[in-house]
Structure 1
Amino acid sequence: MPTPQVESITIDELECLRIRHGDAELLIAQQGAHILSYQLAGQQPLVWHNDKALFKQGTPIRAGIPVCWPWFGNLARNPESVQAMRDSAEPANAHGEVRTLDWQLLGIGEDGDALLVEFIQPHAEQGLPGWPHKVALKLSIRLDQALNVSLVSYNCGAETVTLSQALHTYFVVSDVRQVSLQGVDGLRYIETLENWEERKQSGDLGFAGETDRIYLDTPPLLSIVDPGLQRRIQIQTSGSHSAVVWNPWIDRARALPDMADDGWQRMLCVETANVMSDVVTLAPDQMHVLSVSIWSEALQGE
């Protein structure tokens, strides 16, 4: 296997790494240890880069794979056990605290034919503003025939900690109106756009309007079937039994300053998560690994 090519680049205000290994190309921002894009040579990208994303210090990036931690979404919508971990009266940032912090590159190395890239979040181990808990946090990225991402949380403090989290992946699709999500048939989900009602999914999920759902008791494999790109994106997870599916659709996209008015057509978020009853509780010296592996396969007669 040829030696990986690693290039340091700056995108507006953010320091980034462009890594080429074999057929794979990966772009990562130091802020948030944020994977911005991923694709294999000769293929369409799997992870949506978003040409309207903002690359400003302290501003969340709407693209790629944001790391949401130590809570997901609106803190007030999290279980009480997660809310109780915060001790500040200041408004809580959406999706936690680490996606706008710089992470430290731990190393880039080869593991057989695979490439391993690891970041740590040094502030988490000392406690974050308004969140005074000591949890060592590491993001591991492994490139082989798939993009494998793992978020490792280790409680190095003296008290039990409860958190919610997600690898908030934006996937590239040809047209979200033409794709479907398989693996959700029969699952319970929370319809956040309709008073957070709990419902049951019937069949595959198609898209005909704004979508913001939390699926519960999810299986380890979900698939985005995309006839337009003649591929199936496989999303295999571990350490997770919940998933968030999101697309802003027309009106919401127009209201977002960091998305093109028609950007909603080309993306779909399927987020590997620990949310709602699937939150993570770590006693001292306990560890949790949230992982997702992503790859695509050609559609066969579908």
Structure 2
Amino acid sequence: MSVSVAALNQQFAIPNVLKFVEAGAGVPVIEITGADASARIAVQGAQVLEWQPVGQQPVLWVSRAAIYQAGKGVRGGVPVCWPWFGAGEAGKPAHGFVRTRMWQVRETGQNAQGVFVKLGIGDDAETRSLWDHAFDLELIVVAGKILTMELVTHNTCVEPFTITDALHTYFRTGDITKTEVLGLDNTSYLDKVLDFGQATQHGAVTFSGETDRVYLDTQAECVINDAELKRRIYVAKSGSDSTVVWNPWTEKEKGFADMAAGEYRGMLCVETCNAATDTVTVAPGQSHHLVATVSVGE
């Protein structure tokens, strides 16, 4: 379902604050210029692409080689992974099916926290062929001095369903070799690089090669300590009992057509999620809220 940028602007634009533009054919993007921050959000996939508080450098990372086309996710920003995280069953897309589908714009506005956008998507014959459940999914984004993303899963069917999900956030770093992640000390993790072997984190997470880990049983705030850019990014969360930390490094990067050579040095994923054994069962008529809150300091 495509909706014209003109129609979206007529219904949802906020003069001098929020407008819709086309990033590619059939790929409308919301551009926000608020008092406290600027941001961009793709309607396809409800994917936050940029967030930059006033006076700060960009916080999120998007590849220079990213592709903006209908039915394809953008490499970077905050892809929404739902109703499963990671590889799907045979013939089913990795990280679920909502990140490459067009969502509905349901509401835009401003409040004390910043400029907000509410996007939503529901089940249809195509989604039920992949995952046979009735649902309504919303992402509420508030872009201000703090970026808040709330993914709300509503179970609209008559039986419970079980999901994994993620706000798969790509952060911009000055130099990955001079970057560390705090907040996961003494936390057990599954190491995908080592065939999902289990280990325990000791001290800060540092980077000297491909890193792909699911940290388990953690509700902790993570802090990205970026020595090159002389800043700290704080990632707090709720509704999540696992955190993924990922950097593809040199060899894995070469396998991504939508990632330019050497870009791994300037990015890092710290993902708010329910992944691996951290599943969520939602009863009929009930909802699950996955929330990530991002702020910047020194």
**TM-score, length basis structure 1:** 0.90
User: Which residue of 41, 53, 65 corresponds with 2:66?
Assistant: 53
**Distance between the aligned counterparts of 2:43 and 2:279, measured in 1?**
27
Name the structure 1 match of 2:85: 72
Structure 1, 35-44 or 174-183: larger mean CA deviation:
35-44
Structure 1 distance, partners of 2:125, 2:162, is: 15
For 2:24, the equivalent position in structure 1 comes to 12
| 1:145 has 2:145 as partner | yes
Aligned counterpart for 2:42 among listed residues 18, 21, 29: 29
1:127-138 mapped onto 2 (5 Å cutoff): 127-138=127-138
Q: Cα distance, 1:275 vs. partner?
A: 1.1
Alpha-carbon spacing, 1:212–1:111, altered in 2? closer, same or farther (3 Å)? same
The residue that corresponds to 2:96 in the other structure is 96
Alpha-carbon distance change, 233 to 172 in structure 1, aligned in 2, over 3 angstroms: same
Q: Who is 1:43 aligned against?
A: 56
3-state secondary structure, aligned to 1:205: coil
* Letter in structure 1 aligned against 2:76: A
Superposition map of 1:122-271 within 5 A: 122-123=122-123, 127-271=127-271
Unaligned runs of 5+ in 1: 77-89
* Other-structure match for 1:81: none
Question: What is the identity, as a one-letter code, of the residue corresponding to 2:41?
Answer: I
Q: Distance in 2 between matches of 1:216 and 1:225?
A: 21
Pick closer, same or farther for the CA change 1:243–1:4 going to 2, 3 Å.
farther
C-alpha separation between the residues in 2 aligned to 1:213 and 1:27? Answer: 28
How far has the Cα of 1:75 moved from its partner? Answer: 2.4
Task: Give 1:15 deviation, angstroms.
Answer: 1.1
| CA–CA separation in structure 1 for the residues paired with 2:77 and 2:92 | 23
Where does structure 2 lack aligned partners over 5 or more consecutive residues? 1-13
- Provide the residue aligned with 1:272 in structure 2: 272
2:281 is aligned with what amino acid? T
Residue type of the partner of 1:43?
Answer: Q
Cα RMSD for the two superposed structures: 1.7
TM-superposed CA distance for 1:255, in Å, is 2.1
Q: Which residue of 2 aligns with 1:84?
A: none
